[in-house]
Structure 1
């Protein structure tokens, strides 16, 4: 397994960032130009960047500390600074840019911890409890986390130990990168033919992020030149491929290799892994540990509809988009109105002859007027001219997302407005979002009565609203069907009202089976128990990572770690990887074979998570979503913040584990 990176740049190793840029362009523009740049900048970010470049925290006066007012719908510019604060901050930022210009500064040095704390204290409004977690994300912090502080050769040189990493998506790439840094031997298998996971599979028209781009990246690969504020799917795929190349991972991946079976050998204290190649040949190998990065949103959910086998037109799930099917001028049906439908429908409505949308429940949509926008010219200039500005901007996106919009979907006990809302703030959000829909569908009462969800905002994932969805619904080409589907015919779909809709193409925008973890893999642990029998339809893992009876088996993006109104997915993935490495370090340093989490630790964790989820809109007894499994338990969602996850994954608590 390769342990070196083919494209090493100056500073890459020191700052643990595959995209580290050692030099910026020198500022030469005049004051009038700089004033325009300041006017288009996010002021707290710019002041933080200037303070870091000049190593002068007087640019962060207490009276200009951003309030960080909780976000109800759209983010508050400048952390909700007052007009007076913005005016003073702009003048101060202009002074800072002038100094950088005068001194011709084109780089930034590592910051001591005291300076990091000062800057983070300013950006977070004095929330010291966030500092350690955010330091994990900051390249120029001396105590930046993530990189293992140990190496295999220094702990267990000569010991036979290898790890199987399953999947080369977002989680698998993170695992391979960190395990390579620690020098832990590993094999990475990927069922597909390329890296990228869900972003390699989902190539449907309109596919893109529904979270801000700069929060959707690795702490060790902080790309700065993203073109869009919400990245297109192809841009993310290119990024993941590039990260794997820069890290020296790509050439070491066993592509077209699917994991079929895992069996724990109690006597040898090893995992037996059976993999199957593209030609159907199976191979049996042994590993000391296994890291599963198969993810949640991977298995398409295609509902069973009577007569589906009779239909003679083209049919595809959004994750399995058939680009050989030309939809131009065709009659198309889209089943579902969730996240993928929201992207597909506006993308194709202008190309098709007619469009029938089958809606089971209407989506709530948060305003995002910049959803299809490119990054601004001011941002591009700041990236080129102010050292490390983009990294501070990324940190800003992450820290403002720590609380996110959780307060808007937190339930109030015995709230009289249920089931339409879960609290006064949630009712306020409902009224605001309803007014937006009413405005966009003015003059179309036939659509409006079907476009207002009956469930509370936040009970299901909220989509991004830049008015293109309403425009697609209003199109003369579009028919919205809410009666349900009765059956397929050879030429189309009959709805529950008995009307047949003849279509040439059917698109299943029906989501996935997120609670069916490892559904296509047999995993046999201690005492011959299969993991799906242990779960019995209720997937559970301690910290979302380890499962009792399955030693040295680690999940990345496991049960109950998905964030929907707060937090960073990449942070959760990276922390799971780092936690698994800490467990491996425990094994190696203790000279033992394995660790196995205790059942009581899992029970305690699940009880805590369930308690949190019961307080949220999606955890109310009258709500039904894909966040819940067949037992009705919310098994997908993390109800707390990234900071709590930081705390519980900071170390491996020996009281929670059995050492074998």
Structure 2
């Protein structure tokens, strides 16, 4: 892909580095357009055509998508019935011909009334609050939310002020982008040779998204020419690189440099930041720090007895050793989470023997297109109908905001341990039938491959059948007995069996609950953050901790979604709060802010109470969502709107301590 010149002064441009002023004119005939319309997502197509033509009569009441709740997979076309689909296609075809015949190739900016009409149709009558939130994602809106409406030069009054950003993965890129828009001086430190975070680090075979590609994007970087329905790892890394180039952010990054310590100086009102590069430590001072180190960065490799005795190759999925040739090798994969689910089908035909060590099998949502290219009709529409790709993204964003959230709420008095409610049991039965069909030739293994925990209690993977196919190869097997110890040549399990291996792959996840480790962070009292948390990380909105002023943790405790929501939205909300806190610091001429203990306890209490009623919070569930104290420290159980309000409707005087 050709990378264009940087878009220049971001505050003067459309808040989207992928914005296009011109699209390709339509030259195809009626029959071709009819085929495109037949294959298109109808709600997205109708609003896109209404927006570009200005003809809102095509948004007929009977064609509004109802978006029924998603138990397993979303209803096609937002739940439109067969007759409504036929009518919608006729209407869309007429409008698409007009786009062609009138050579409508330019996106048409909307006024407030038009924005409301289109969003009302697309969401089947969303509330005013939800509609306002959606304008955060809509370039065409008269006022797109998210970008700072102030500049450093306007409010700094000549004050020197610098921000350190730690990490340039997805959260770090969002932080750099918003700081750049405001003109705030900053330096980003990246311990790796390039940007991308987990997508730079995770290069294992088969690495790809387990969410639809269009959902995995920022509001300010709405790429529409994705090649894959579920993007491969290298495509996401390319996306990260492109954004940095388009927005001119690379000049702010210091690569191959790790932040090792942060110390707040109460008298000066700034942070002493220690970095290490090439064995040399450097000390610098910054007025604020945005931590974007992520949750899925430090590999978790269990300390199995004798692990150091094994003479073969060992690697974690996030530290893949491409120098190890797996061809003809006896390979062990420990774990059955997202990375294992992708690695196993990718390597099974290259190895001589494949053994998967399973603690519990994964629940998987049917996705027949998991390895497919982006549908040709979708790609064509993104290229020829102005802003279609972004409307398609917005429709998916709206649906994911609720997702399958209703399926994981525990019903009062529900006593079964394999589910948490009637609808959760229904999901279990549907997915069990899917698994049963995939393993019909091996019914004796159903008890092994069907999970024993409630659906939604752990991340649900995307399933196109390749996992079951791989594990049914003659040279593959599943081992459910626990690992007792390693030897020089393999692994002995708790049942006494010995398994000989040449290569061991750890698909064992990350130390997700150890936030900001191994950085030593000392706050206003001199206490380290590790001492303060004692293994139970708590932060207001996952961002701010009492006693640690101007330290903003993006994607900190309790900011992950499981069965609904957008991680990019959470990242952006966290970053936008941090930027506004910096704005308030400059505007008021103070040293900074940190959250009050009372405000922290209020939100953590609400989060804990809600998580206790979700599938992942049930006592019988073990997962990385819980820390060593058994508390769910990873998951945000509420809606987009609730996190938006928490991070954007802030009373700094009530909920935060001002450092003068």
SS at match of 1:464: strand
Contact 1:10 1:22 in 2 (8 A): no
Superposed, 1:438-453 pairs within 5 Å as: 438-453=436-451
Contact 1:420 1:454 in 2 (8 A): yes
SS at match of 1:649: helix
Q: Counterpart of 1:270?
A: 270
Q: CA deviation at 1:6?
A: 4.5
Q: Counterpart of 2:208?
A: 208
What is the rounded CA distance, in whole Å, between the counterparts of 2:136 and 2:446 in structure 1? Answer: 46
What is the rounded CA distance, in whole Å, between the counterparts of 1:454 and 1:540 in structure 2? Answer: 30
Contact 2:330 2:352 in 1 (8 A): yes
Q: Deviations over 1:533-555 (max 9, x none)?
A: 11111101101111100001101
Q: Deviations over 1:557-590 (max 9, x none)?
A: 1110101111111111011000001111111111
What is the rounded CA distance, in whole Å, between the counterparts of 1:652 and 1:274 in structure 2? Answer: 31
What is the rounded CA distance, in whole Å, between the counterparts of 1:188 and 1:484 in structure 2? Answer: 43
Q: CA deviation at 1:157?
A: 3.6
Q: CA deviation at 1:25?
A: 1.2
1:557 aligns with 2:555: yes
CA 1:305 to 1:219, structure 2 compared with 1: closer, same or farther past 3 Å? Answer: same
Q: Counterpart of 1:186?
A: 186
Q: Counterpart of 1:199?
A: 199
Correspondent of 2:467 among 447, 466, 469: 469
What is the rounded CA distance, in whole Å, between the counterparts of 1:298 and 1:395 in structure 2? Answer: 29
What is the rounded CA distance, in whole Å, between the counterparts of 2:251 and 2:587 in structure 1? Answer: 30
Q: Counterpart of 1:321?
A: 320
Q: Counterpart of 1:659?
A: 658
What is the rounded CA distance, in whole Å, between the counterparts of 2:274 and 2:583 in structure 1? Answer: 26
Superposed, 1:80-479 pairs within 5 Å as: 80-128=79-127, 129-277=129-277, 279-416=278-415, 418-479=416-477
Contact 1:12 1:20 in 2 (8 A): no
| Further displaced range: 349-358 or 14-23 | 14-23
Q: Deviations over 1:410-435 (max 9, x none)?
A: 1101113x211100000011111111
Q: Counterpart of 1:633?
A: 631
Correspondent of 1:610 among 590, 608, 611: 608
| Further displaced range: 12-21 or 484-493 | 12-21
CA 1:574 to 1:11, structure 2 compared with 1: closer, same or farther past 3 Å? Answer: closer
Superposed, 1:537-616 pairs within 5 Å as: 537-616=535-614
Contact 1:48 1:123 in 2 (8 A): yes
Contact 2:186 2:252 in 1 (8 A): no
Alignment RMSD: 1.3
Contact 2:166 2:293 in 1 (8 A): yes
| Further displaced range: 25-34 or 165-174 | 25-34
Q: Deviations over 1:375-419 (max 9, x none)?
A: 111111111110000010111110110100011111101113x21
Q: Deviations over 1:187-233 (max 9, x none)?
A: 11001111000000000000000011001011111111100010000
TM-score scaled by length of structure 2: 0.98
What is the rounded CA distance, in whole Å, between the counterparts of 1:313 and 1:478 in structure 2? Answer: 19
Which stretches in structure 1 are left out of the alignment for 5+ residues?
Answer: none
What is the rounded CA distance, in whole Å, between the counterparts of 1:117 and 1:208 in structure 2? Answer: 36
Contact 2:10 2:181 in 1 (8 A): no
Contact 1:270 1:288 in 2 (8 A): yes
Q: CA deviation at 1:638?
A: 0.8
Q: CA deviation at 1:12?
A: 9.6
What is the rounded CA distance, in whole Å, between the counterparts of 2:379 and 2:592 in structure 1? Answer: 49
Q: Deviations over 1:74-133 (max 9, x none)?
A: 221100111111111111101111111121110012211211111111111101231111
Correspondent of 1:518 among 516, 522, 528: 516
Q: Counterpart of 1:624?
A: 622
SS at match of 2:13: helix
| Further displaced range: 644-653 or 432-441 | 644-653
What is the rounded CA distance, in whole Å, between the counterparts of 2:267 and 2:464 in structure 1? Answer: 59
Q: CA deviation at 1:446?
A: 3.3
| Further displaced range: 459-468 or 56-65 | 56-65
Q: CA deviation at 1:251?
A: 3.0
Contact 1:261 1:523 in 2 (8 A): yes
Aligned length: 654
Q: CA deviation at 1:447?
A: 2.1
TM-score scaled by length of structure 1: 0.98
SS at match of 1:357: strand
SS at match of 2:525: helix
What is the rounded CA distance, in whole Å, between the counterparts of 2:55 and 2:634 in structure 1? Answer: 44
What is the rounded CA distance, in whole Å, between the counterparts of 1:601 and 1:89 in structure 2? Answer: 49
Contact 2:10 2:247 in 1 (8 A): no
Q: Counterpart of 1:63?
A: 62
What is the rounded CA distance, in whole Å, between the counterparts of 1:10 and 1:286 in structure 2? Answer: 27
Q: Counterpart of 1:487?
A: 485
Q: CA deviation at 1:11?
A: 10
Q: CA deviation at 1:361?
A: 0.9
| Further displaced range: 504-513 or 121-130 | 121-130
Q: Which runs of 4+ in 1 moved over 3 A?
A: 9-14
What is the rounded CA distance, in whole Å, between the counterparts of 1:47 and 1:354 in structure 2? Answer: 51
Q: CA deviation at 1:142?
A: 1.3
Contact 1:582 1:651 in 2 (8 A): no
Q: Deviations over 1:9-38 (max 9, x none)?
A: 899953211111111111122221111110
SS at match of 2:397: helix
What is the rounded CA distance, in whole Å, between the counterparts of 1:394 and 1:294 in structure 2? Answer: 27
1:529 aligns with 2:522: no
